[in-house]
């Protein structure tokens, strides 16, 4: 069956602003849109090879995921400094005697971390369907600027750790976003259960867990939906129309 204008009903629903289930979708950036595992491991391995040391990807990420939240929990400081401390502590855990003068390699490499293959096509699909898009990220403004060039869409909202002087899972990103979003219907989508799903649930923000790594939930909080990638997120939104 087709509508009077000749378009199939499903196609008409996907582009009609009045039938979208949400008005704005915000994303975590690194790990959700940008392949930070690939970027982090490549940066560690390249820097360590200068010292004749080979590091395993799994060991690098295990150390990173353990150390970074602990450093952020110490209180706000620029993310560039967080990355430097994570590099020093991570290298020590991995048995690599990193010279402190070289600890800036993570921040220096961040602009080269690339999007997942599904990121830009699916963001474009969402934009074309009428959604506004935003970013809530534990990042400095200048570091995000080095990443922005990789995206093929413009974001309508950006909330960084530098702006709110705080790191997720603290609530400041979400509270600031809520002030800016107002009464618009809001969905958050993110890879990190710890940094995003837990605080979103605590604040009553609808959230989709983009569980790219097939992780297990670390607590009782459950997202509104769990998907493996952005293509599945878009399909879930299409079904909600």
Would you name the residues annotated as active-site residues? 28
Pairing of strands 186-190, 24-27: parallel
| Integer Cα distance of 236 and 30 in angstroms | 22
Contact 25, 32 (CB under 8 A): no
| Integer Cα distance of 79 and 153 in angstroms | 24
């Amino acid at each position: 069956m087709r509508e009077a204008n000749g378009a199939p009903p499903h196609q008409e629903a996907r582009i009609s602003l009045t039938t979208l289930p949400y008005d704005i979708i915000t994303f975590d950036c690194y790990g959700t849109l940008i392949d930070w595992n690939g970027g982090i491991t490549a940066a560690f391995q390249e820097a360590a090879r200068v010292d004749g040391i080979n590091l395993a990807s799994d060991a690098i990420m295990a150390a990173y995921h353990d150390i970074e939240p602990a450093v952020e929990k110490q209180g706000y400081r620029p993310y560039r400094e967080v990355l430097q401390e994570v590099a020093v502590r991570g290298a020590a855990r991995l048995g690599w005697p990193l010279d402190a003068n070289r600890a800036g390699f993570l921040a220096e490499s961040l602009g080269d971390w690339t999007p997942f293959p599904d990121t830009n096509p699916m963001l474009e699909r969402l934009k074309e369907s009428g959604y506004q898009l935003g970013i809530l990220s534990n990042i400095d403004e200048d570091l995000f600027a080095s990443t922005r060039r990789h995206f093929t869409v413009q974001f309508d909202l950006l909330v960084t750790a530098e702006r709110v002087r705080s790191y997720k899972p603290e609530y400041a990103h979400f509270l600031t976003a809520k002030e800016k979003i107002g009464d618009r219907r809001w969905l958050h989508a993110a890879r990190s259960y710890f940094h995003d799903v837990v605080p979103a649930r605590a604040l009553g923000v609808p959230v989709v867990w983009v569980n790219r790594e097939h992780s297990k939930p670390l607590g009782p909080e459950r997202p509104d939906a769990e998907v493996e990638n952005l293509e599945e997120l878009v399909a879930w939104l299409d079904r909600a129309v």
